Structures are given as C-alpha cells and as structure tokens.
Structure 1
Amino acid sequence: MLTFKDYTMDQLQLPLSFEDFIPENHLVRVVNTIVDSLDLSPLYDRYKQGGCPAYHPRMMLKVMIYSYSQKTYSSRMIAKALRENINFMWIAGGNKPDFRTINRFRLQMKDIIEDIFYEVVKLLIDKKYIKLQNYFLDGTKIEANANKYSFVWNKSVRNYDRKLDEKIKAHLREIDQIVAEENQIYLEEDLEEKGEHTRITAEQVAAVVESIDKKLEREPENKPLKKKAREFKKDILPRKKKYEKSLETFEGRNSYSKTDHDATFMRMKEDAMLNGQLKPGYNIQIGTEKRYIVGFTIHPNPTDTTTMIPHLQHLKEKLGRFPENIVADAGYGSEENYEYLEEKQLGNYVKYNKFHWEKRRKNRENPYLPEHLPYNKERDCFLCRNGKHLEHVGDRKYVTDAGYETRRDYYRCEDCGGCPYAGECKNSDKPKTIRISHRLNELKRKANENLCSEKGLELRSQRVVEVEQTFGRIKGCWSFRRFLLRGKEKVKIEWGLLSIAHNITKMALEG
C-alpha cells in the first residue's frame, strides 16, 4: 500500500509570522539592523505634510538595499519579490508598493544617496571594521544605458561647424547690402586682421536673419533675398544652434551619447566581439580598505590620471579627513598627482608608468637612458658615456586640463661627431637630445623608495586583492555590468545602492 506525507492545501499552519522562517544571522536581518541605526533625516526631509500617506522611507530604503544585494535591480522584479519572497515580505512589513512607487523612490534619492552611503562608512569606522589607514584606489568602466551607435564626436562637430561658417560667409558675400552692414563681424579678412576667432555664433546668425527680414520689408519682391532668408531660417540657424548645443554638452570630452549625454564612449573590458568597439559608459572610481568600499566617484573621462585629485577631495569633504596612505596602480602616476599627495602629506604608494619597466635588467643597466646619465647640477648639464656634455638648450611649459603647470627641460649633446656609441645611443644623425622634468624625477624617486620598502611591498601585494575582489563581486557575482538609469546623477544612485549593499553584505559575512 502506497503512503505519502499529508498534503492539505487549505489547512492552517503555525507559525504565522514571516520572521519565524528567517534564520537568525540572515543577511536581511543585518540590513534591517544597519538601516535602523542610520540617521536618515536627509531622506525624511524629502517628504511633505498632507496628502495621501507615503510608504515609510526607512522601509523603502531597506527594500532597495536588500534587493541590490540579491541581484534584483529592476523595479518590476523588486515589486514581484515583495509579493512572493518571504525575506522581502518580512523586511517590507507586508507592504507591497508597485514598481512605479519603487522607481519613484529610487529617483528621489538623487541628492542624498551619498549621504546615506557615508553614514554607513562612518558606522564601519565607529565599529572598527576600517581605520581609514590604507586607501586602495582603482577604477572600472561600466556600460551606460545608451545606444552604442548614438555617438557624437567632438572633432566631427567642430569640423561641421567650421564648414557651416564658411557657407554663411559665402552667403553673406552674395548679399551685398547685408555684407556691407555686418562686415565688422563676418568678413573673414577683417577678423584675421584683428587676430580674432573666426567662429560664428548662433546669436550672430540670428542677427543676420533679422537684418534680412528688415531688408525684405523694404523690398518684398526681392526673390533672391527671400530664398536666402528661407535657407537661413530653415537650415543654417537650426544647424548652428544644434552644433553649439553639442559643443556645450562635450564639456571637454571627445564624445557623448545621444541617448545619455553624460556617457562617454570608451573601451570596455567586456568585449564580446573582440573588435575593440567603443561603448558609452562611465568611469567608476572607488577606494577600499579591507575590501569595504570607503569612497566612490563617477567620472565621464576614460583615463584614471585626472580622477585621483577630485576623488580624494570628495572623500575629504564627506569624511572630514584623508586616509593615511594612498595605494594605486600606474594609471594614477603623474606629476600633478604626486605633488598633490606631497602637499597633503599623504603616504604615496602610487606607481608610475615605467615602474616595472625600470626593474628589468636590460633597462636597469642601460647607460644611454636619460635616467642613468650623470647630472651636473651646478652647470645644469648631463654627461654622456663618451664624456660629452648635453647642454641645456631650452624648456617648455605645459598646462593640464586641471590647470596644473609643469615644465620640461631640453638638453642637447655638444658634439656627437665620431662618437663610437652613436649607433646604440641614438636613432638619427642629429645630435642626441633628451627631455627631462627634474621635479617629476624627484617625485618618482620618492615614490619608488616607498614602493620598494617593506611596507610598500606589502601594500602592493594587497592592492590586487583589495579592489579587484570588490569589482569582482559587483560585476561578476552580482552580474552588474550595465546601468539601468540614464544620466550621471541617476547612475550615482545605482552605484551608491550597490556600494551600500556590498558593505552590509561583507559586514554580515564577518559577523
């Protein structure tokens, strides 16, 4: 005779509380405890009195953080989990906001997500999880929610704008009377004589249209003038406004996406087609300690070099102090960054681009490299292997995008004729010339001493584990490789929730 366990669908069973089904040390309980301990007054200030009561913001924040820790990012999937998942039901207290309410709440966190994130970081510091001692800085590129074929290139827009200016000048020359009135602005030869920029603005084109309209009031039967007026109004002026708007959108970048103006086209590590195709994305910079995310910033530029200073300034603004030591790879090793670390008296464990290259034996023993040439400080010259002097022949100043001014000095050999080492020393028939930055070399020497010290070796070995594991969890384990929201401010919301979820998850694992 067959026997089975009792199966009665309409039978009431105990316990009746969701909490009884959740293990004592479950992540959802940790999220609940941590969020209850946070000061959420900035979040409460977003609400106004009167009207229909809103869902409790503390409950909504708990749901958002827990959902991101469970790889649930879509508002529709979160709403579904609130109806079907016991953990979600318990932390929401049985509330079931729909996907519109969830998405609206997420967007309302635009100005306060960083405040909430740094509240969690301060909690980590208070509970001795982190000491703000060794700060491991690195970045990753994450694809934006934008069409990958919606690119706009800075160089192309400037080229189209230049050709349009030439077309405008050609039209103005055909309209003799208009050219006569406006020649102080538009005639190419007058502008060149004054040494002024020849670019024509939309405001100036609008003034031309107004002048043509006035002429047409006096000469309504002038068909050539009417034709020019139509072309200016329907083609030239709209295009000029479009180009000006694009140039404003670039903000120093080389490109942007039409579907997300804050996203820049950059190379991604995730290259399924293996063709190096550029994709719209954001450069996410994070700093970690003991694999906790201590700070983050979102940048539109693909290079890491220019992100260090604004990132550290932002961290100081939020936490009130800098970490003791900064550890980063060669992507951050620049004169400007080294000067900043020295000025703020921070431990410099940042590699420079030739750090490992210099350690190779063939480069370490190469007597022809500028770094190995003896330098006479009093005479300001170098001495080559053949005993000839490389005299100072000039210098050149450079200014970075951030306004930092640096200098490069040039030295040229007094006589390379008949030198037995010329074939190994240089690649041309011209006298050997080298370019040197004495200040950068001094800063690199100090950085090299730190990196090769006992502490530097330890921090260098930790750096790979620290940041890469953090990115590995978010991009690999949690499968977050593309943002759902558009715009830098909304992207900051998503990354802020991910960072909070990561930190709380790690706290739960450590107990």
Structure 2
Amino acid sequence: MILNHYILSGINEKIGEMEEEFQLMLLASEIVDCCFNFFEIERKTSKVGRPHFEIKNMIKLIFYGYINKITSSVVLAHNAKYNFLYSFISHGCEPSDRTIRDYRKNFMSIFQLIMSFTLIATYKLGLSDFKYIAIDGTIKQAYNSPFNIIKEKDIRLLIKHYMVEELTKNEIKKLRKTAKKFLKDKTKTDEEKVDILFEWWRLLDFSGQSSLGLNDHDARWMKIKDKGQIYPKFSYNLQLGTDTESKLICGVNVVQNPTDHYQIPALMNQIISNLNLKPTKISADTIYLTLANLNYLDNLGITALIPTSQQNRENSGEKPNNRFAIGYFVFDEYKNVFICPEGQELTLDGIYQAHPEKGGGNKLKAVYSNFNACNNCINKGVCFKTGHRSITRYVHELAYKTERIISSEKGIEEYKLRSSTVESHNGTFKRVYLYDFIPITGLKRVQGLMFAIVASYNLIRFLNLIKENNMSLQSVINSIRYISSS
C-alpha cells in the first residue's frame, strides 16, 4: 500500500509537470500567433529556389527553446526532430542547426514585438497598470577573450611594416601574440592586410580605447561586478526596466558605455514604445542622478525616485566609521545651514557656477563653512587637516525636487520596492540563462539575444500571473486573441 502510494504520487507529480510544460508551450504558441496578427508581421519571399520554413513556426521553435534555456542551435535542431512538444509548437519543422542560426541572426528583432505584445496583453487583462518602473544596469561579458585583442601600438607597427619599411627583429619581438599571428598569416595579401589594419584603426578611433577585441569589435572594456574579478573585460552594459507590480521586464537596452549615468532616456523611450503607455514614476540607483536624466523625466511628467549618495547611505544604514564624514553633517533646510557633529552651524559662504553636466545644464555650487568655530574646535586636525572644514552642496531645482521626494516617508517606502524588483533579474540571466557564455558577438546581435531572453522570461512570469490570479488559461487565450484582432 505504501509503495503504491509513492508510485501514484510520483506519477501525479510527473503529470503535473507535463501539464505545466504543455500550458507553457500552448501559451507561447498563442502569444506568437497573436503577436504576428497584432503587429501584422509578414515575410515577403520570392518563389524562386527551395521554399523557406514558415517564419512564424521557426520563431515559435526558437522562442520555446529560449523558454527552456536552450541556446544551442544543435540541441534545438535535435529537439525539433525527436521531442513531441518542440515538433508540435513548430508544426513539424525540422530545420538544421545552420538554418536555426540564420533565423536567429536575421529575425531576432521580432522578439521585441513578442515582448511588447505580452506587456500590452498584461495591461489589457488588468494584471498590472505599469505605473512604477524600477531601473538598473549590469555588465554582460562579451564573447571575446581578453587575450584575443589588438593594441593601437601594434596596429601602428604593422602599418609601418606594410606601407613604409619592414619591421626589425626587435620591433617584431615587441608585438603581441595576436599581432605576430596576423603578420605570419599567408592566406591574405598585403593589400588585404592593410585594408584590415585601417578598419581596425577606424574602429579603435571610434571606440576611444587603446585596444580592440578581435572576436567582437563592438565590445568595450568594463569592470565586472562579480567577486574576485579585479581586471576589466570586454563587455556590454545591460540596462533593464522592470514593473514593480507584475515583475515583468518592460525594456532591455544594450549599450557600449561602461557607466549608467546617461542611460535613462534611451531605455525609457523603449519602455514607452513597448508598453504603448507612459509610466508615472521610476526608481533608479544614485549613479543615474544626472541633470540629463532628470530633465528628460521632468519633460515627460515622470516622477524620479533617485536618492543622492548621502540618502543612499542613510537608507541602507551604511554610515562610515569616521564621525566627521559628510554623512554626519545635517542640513537644516529652514535655516539653510549644515550642523556639524559638535553642534556648530556652517553657514553659506557663497554660490558659484558649477561645471556644466553633459546634456543637462548647470548646477550651482553652494559652499558652507564656519571659520571661527573650526578655529576653536577641539577636533582640529581630525575633522580637517588645514584651515577649516567646508561643505559643498550642488543645487539645482530638479535635483532638489528629487531629493525632497526621496526623503519623504512615502518616497522611502516606494524606493524599497526597487531592490526586490529589478536586481534579481541580473542574477537570473547570468546564472540560469548563462548569457555570458552564449557565442554571439556584435552590439545588434547581443541586443537581439536579450530581447529573446527577456521575452521568454516574461512569458514564464505571465503564466505565473495567470495562476496567481486564478484565471483560466483558455479564457486568457481567448482574451489575447481578441486583443490581437482589435
């Protein structure tokens, strides 16, 4: 009896898993069908030569592969032949791995439309209002070894070798291994090599860097955030915008800039396009607190929840051990003074023009001090080394408005939603989807890859939202069919 109980429970569990897998496959198929209908996607082909696979069936196959974390075209081609669910969703397509790679290369932009339609359906079904978006950035490692590079000085020497005079033995010894390999390559003529060298020179000049990744020309040197990683690697900067209510990703933008300072406008433009509506507020880390971002959001009427570095330290409770650090100087807004840890008031000395920010305008630099109090202070030499202590505060109407919002009780509570919303995705993509190891190169193709990964992630989350709200899958499918035809 006990054995039979365990056998039956195991069978029921297996049936439950199969049922969930079938639901996922069915929903994925319907989402693609409705997306093609909603955006009126068609592929125009000539009738000459071998007939092409139906693009919708191929997109379904690739999409279902990403949903199941399958990024290998060889594995996906095998599943299309021998796995019932893959064969079912693609209507019996049996493409080769090379064909799958070609479709991935040429049609990955469709996954942004699939991502967009999933978000629109979520809104129409009342599962989220998409009013509050949390933004964060992470570094995605490029598919380029840090040793497979060419440096500017190597290119200069190689150009000298082919266009001026041959390099001496000592000069050849100074070349990196990749440059020596290029020099010894007999498969290219000297003219072809010169063309390649000048193209590399142009790409280096455009990137503003001193070295170029030979496998991925679009990648840039960036510091990886993983523990133990000291040196920068060729990478891309990945920007994500996530809805705090549904936890669906509303936008993903891949950029070459290693910092996050000015990334909000491009990402928000994509989010608004994907949602077909405008959020009312966003939250982001301190690094996004630039006038360019604040001006952009203010012009759109979007509230920014972005703390200053001091507010960030206060909210996290991570105050420095030094009791005379700037975080312990309290600003009295009513008196317009800073109060030091000894209770002395630092008054306003003057207001000056600060250096203009990129794309944002000017801030004012307000300087506060109290020479007499510092001159008689027992902490002279500890709080400050020479002269007296001064505090500099950068003032701008928009920055001040944002600071006031994030300092309110409501602002603090709303900002706390950010960490539990967007930061977990970065770990999911890195450790579950293993996107650092997918052999895709080039900014455009990496952007397409992220659209596919995000679309598959959102579909899984969409199915979970349906279950959490006790909705019938068939009624949801009927609804999204109606949405796609309206």
Q: Assess same fold via TM > 0.5.
A: yes
- Partner SS state of residue 456, structure 2: helix
Note the aligned Cα RMSD (angstroms). Answer: 4.0
**Corresponding position: 1:439 with 2:437:** no
Identify unmatched segments of 5+ residues in structure 2. 1-17, 165-189, 467-486
Q: Which residue of structure 1 aligns with residue 278 of structure 2?
A: 322
TM-fit CA distance, 1:482: 2.9
Amino acid at match of 1:87: L
- Aligned residues of 2:115 and 2:454 also touching (Cα < 8 A): yes
TM alignment of 1:126-205, pairs within 5 A: 126-151=124-149, 157=152
- Find out whether 1:428 has 2:385 as its counterpart: yes
Find the aligned partners of 2:124 and 2:445 in 1 and give their Cα distance: 29
Tell whether the 8 Å contact from 1:43 to 1:57 is kept in structure 2 after alignment.
no
Superposition deviation, residue 69 in structure 1: 1.0
SS at structure 2 position matched to 1:265: strand
Q: Provide the residue aligned with 1:75 in structure 2.
A: 73
Q: CA deviation at 1:324?
A: 1.3
Is this contact kept in 2: 1:328–1:463, CA < 8 A?
A: yes
Aligned length: 411
Flag structure 1 segments of 5+ consecutive residues without an equivalent. 1-20, 169-205, 209-232
Amino acid at match of 1:28: M
The alignment status of 1:267 with 2:265, answered yes or no, reads: no
> 2:209 & 2:310 partners in 1: Cα distance?
27
The AA in structure 1 aligned to 2:465 is E
- 2:36 aligns with 39
Read off the aligned partner of 1:115 and give its amino acid letter. Answer: L
Per-residue deviation, 1:111: 4.6
- Aligned twin of 1:105: 103
The 8 Å contact of residues 305 and 331 in structure 1, kept in 2 or not, is answered as yes
Cα shift at 1:67: 0.2
Instruction: Tell me how far apart the structure 2 counterparts of residues 100 and 388 of structure 1 sit (CA, whole Å).
Output: 70
Letter matched to residue 264 of structure 2: M
CA distance in 2, matches of 1:333, 1:418: 35
- Match in the other structure for 1:510: 465
Determine the structure 2 residue equivalent to 1:116.
114
1:61 is displaced (CA, Å) by 0.7
Q: Does 1:392 align with 2:350?
A: yes
Distance 2:282 2:50 in 1: 49
Secondary structure (helix, strand or coil) at the match of 2:75 reads: helix
C-alpha contact (below 8 Å) 1:286/1:297 kept by paired residues: yes
Given that 1:323 and 1:346 are in contact with CA atoms closer than 8 Å, whether structure 2 keeps it comes out as yes
Distance 1:276 1:383, change over 3 A: closer
- CA drift at 1:386: 6.1
**Partners of 1:332 and 1:351 within 8 A in 2:** no
1:308 aligned partner: 264
Among candidates 226, 229, 242, match of residue 288 of structure 1: 242
Higher radius of gyration, 1 or 2? 1
- Is the alpha carbon distance of 1:46 and 1:151 closer, same or farther for their aligned partners in structure 2, counting shifts above 3 Å? farther
Aligned to 2:446: 491
Between the aligned partners of 1:461 and 1:497, the Cα distance in structure 2 is: 29
Q: Residues 195-226 of structure 1: CA distance to partner in whole angstroms, max 9, x if unpaired? A: xxxxxxxxxxx9x9xxxxxxxxxxxxxxxxxx
Is the contact between residue 133 and residue 283 of structure 2 (CA under 8 Å) also seen in structure 1? yes
Q: Cα distance, 1:103 vs. partner?
A: 0.9
Does the CA contact (< 8 Å) of 1:70 and 1:478 recur in 2?
no
CA change 1:464–1:244 in 2 (3 A) is: same
The one-letter code of the counterpart of 2:114 is I
Q: 1: CA distance between counterparts of 2:305 and 2:27? A: 35
Shift in CA distance, 129/470, structure 1 to aligned 2, threshold 3 Å: farther
User: Which residue number in structure 1 is paired with residue 232 of structure 2?
Assistant: 278
Corresponding position: 1:352 with 2:350: no
Contact 1:68 1:498 survives alignment (8 Å): yes
How far 1:63 sits from its partner (Å)?
A: 0.4
CA shift, 1:23, in A, is 6.9
Secondary structure of the residue that 2:69 maps to in structure 1?
coil
TM-score using structure 1 length: 0.68
Which of residues 24, 27, 36 is equivalent to 2:24?
Answer: 27
CA-to-aligned-CA distance 1:97-156 (integer Å, 9 cap, x gap): 111111111111155443333233222222223212111111222211112223567xxx
Partner Cα separation in structure 2 for residue 348 and residue 408 of structure 1: 20
Partner in structure 1 of residue 288 of structure 2: 332
Query: Is residue 423 of structure 2 the alignment partner of residue 468 of structure 1?
Result: yes
Give the alignment's TM-score, normalised by structure 2: 0.72
Distance 1:427 1:334 in 2: 29
Rounded Cα–Cα distance in structure 1 between residues aligned with 2:313 and 2:337:
25
What's the secondary structure of 1:29's corresponding residue? helix
